[in-house]
Structure 1
Amino acid sequence: MRPPTAEPGPPFDIAETALRLLCEGPSPLAVSGRALGHGLPRRPIRLTELAAILMHPSASFPARDAVWRLLVTRSRTDGPAWVVGATGVALPGLRAVAGRLGRPGDPDVQAEVLAGFLAALRTLDLSTPKVCPRLCNSAQSAARAALRSNHAGPAEASLTEAAGAAPGVVTVGGHPDFVLARAVRAGVLNVADADLIGAIRLEGIPVREYAARLGLTEWAVYKRRTAAEARLVAALNAGDLDDLNAQVIAEATGTAQP
């Protein structure tokens, strides 16, 4: 388990590592190229390989849309691993989005891009083409709006859903308080950081108000929240919060089946 004091990596790096881990071993996350057709290799394709195939100029637009309809559908029906998988495959586009927002390496920008992408993953209409570009456009719009609303002085925004960014991990459905409590027991979060995430993400307390309560600057609260949420998402993606709680995690990430 990652030590509580370890410095988390940037959100995009966390998502990339999570995808790689999901594609290793005897049961990698994969799709059937035979079933998808459109010139894709007629065999199981690991998602890491699939991401490279989709980036190649020879990948047709129908092939890309077929893949993305499948990835989005599976992210909605087959649990958190597929949310992480879809996010990992989308990383080239999401990095481009962060670049268009002007701060591609900023972890706070990356966090809001991921949060916007995860929201779109749950709601995007799949009946029209250009699925991935529309997901990325939604992520860009949501991230820009969040960064503007959170930008008081030098303050910015933050990650993860879920499999990737913590806003989705702790705000969507199920029993998110259980996830925070387990993270405290596992040493991923301390009590103060769990309280911070719960107050801002679950109770909707404005950062300005929460900072005033603690006698901190808004910037300090944003930075602390970003680090805490990154640790939480990394622990969920790595399985450090225990498979016995998979249903709670699935509910908290908004990907549990009804």
Structure 2
Amino acid sequence: MATTNEFRRARRGQDSEDSVRDCMPLDAARAAFEWLVTGPHPVSLDGRLFPGMPSRRVPLNEVRDRLLRRRCPQATRDAVWAHLVLRSRTEGATWTVGCVGVALPALTRIAATLSARFAGDVTDIHAAVLAGFLSEIARIDLRKPRIMLRLRWAAYRAGHTAVREALDAPVPSGNGFRSTPPTPLWGHPDFVLARAVAEDVITSDEAELIGSTAWRGSRSPTPPCSAG
């Protein structure tokens, strides 16, 4: 998993550490990724390893754009994401930043969706979305299909939990703090899925797939446009 220091090292020479601390987490990740793919030797994949990719070195920003195309085969998306995740696990910082950069269109949309109706500071929500994605990179089963769908879902769950925790926190009153009402039903996994579909984060078919594979075995309430 990438740490804050790894993101800072990735963009060293471009911005100071103070400026990294001052910007939103996903903004810092975007700047780090842009640094990786800028210049004469951008971080890239060997396109010959993946069906549908050009037979050359493909910079990660181009990889991202190709995965976003509707006609990109799911097999190609899964093969590329399996490769990116494995590189992140074995080599760390650069490839973890690369994973985040390729996923940024999805992560940004998820963070914006969850923050849209939240009146407070949204920094923690954005950070939770990023943290949920990074945590899932470390443990996701690469043998199963739709890798990016499961990564986006983990990011959405983490951000959704951050929103719930913020809304459930004690509210200051004239004499200190007062309790908030009980947690509403939309915290249940099925309601989280329904909300994600309503907000166009996932499709109804993807929600059905997640619901049938992610938790149906345990039914535990584990508190998601897409780059694959």
- Per the normalisation by structure 1, the TM-score is 0.54
1:39 has 2:52 as partner:
yes
Structure 2 residue aligned with 1:126, among 115, 138, 142? 142
Contact preservation (8 Å) 1:114, 1:139: yes
* CA RMSD in angstroms, aligned pairs only: 2.5
Structure 1 residue 142: Cα displacement: 1.9
Q: Which residue type is aligned with residue 157 of structure 2?
A: S
1:29 has 2:43 as partner:
yes
* 1:70 alignment counterpart: 83
Contact preservation (8 Å) 1:69, 1:126: yes
Distance 1:5 1:98, change over 3 A: closer
* 2:5 alignment counterpart: none
1:17 has 2:18 as partner:
no
* 1:107 alignment counterpart: 123
* 1:94 alignment counterpart: 107
- The 5 Å alignment of 1:1-258 reads 2=16, 4=18, 8-36=22-50, 38-103=51-116, 106-151=122-167, 152-153=169-170
Residue 22 of structure 2 aligns to a residue whose secondary structure is coil
User: How many angstroms apart in 1 are the aligned matches of 2:62 and 2:76?
Assistant: 14
Which segments of 5 or more consecutive residues in structure 1 lack a partner in the other structure? Answer: 156-258
User: How many angstroms apart in 1 are the aligned matches of 2:24 and 2:36?
Assistant: 19
Residue 67 of structure 1 aligns to a residue whose secondary structure is helix
User: How many angstroms apart in 2 are the aligned matches of 1:43 and 1:117?
Assistant: 29
Which segments of 5 or more consecutive residues in structure 2 lack a partner in the other structure? Answer: 1-14, 173-228
Residue 34 of structure 1 aligns to a residue whose secondary structure is helix
User: How many angstroms apart in 2 are the aligned matches of 1:55 and 1:5?
Assistant: 30
Distance 1:79 1:13, change over 3 A: same
Contact preservation (8 Å) 1:95, 1:104: no
Residue 90 of structure 1 aligns to a residue whose secondary structure is helix
Residue 57 of structure 1 aligns to a residue whose secondary structure is coil
User: How many angstroms apart in 2 are the aligned matches of 1:25 and 1:13?
Assistant: 20
Distance 1:126 1:75, change over 3 A: same
Structure 1 residue 138: Cα displacement: 0.9
Structure 1 residue 11: Cα displacement: 1.7
Q: Which residue type is aligned with residue 68 of structure 2?
A: M
Question: What is the number of residues matched between the two proteins?
Answer: 154
Q: Which residue type is aligned with residue 18 of structure 1?
A: A
Distance 1:73 1:5, change over 3 A: closer
Q: Percent identity?
A: 37
- Per the normalisation by structure 2, the TM-score is 0.61
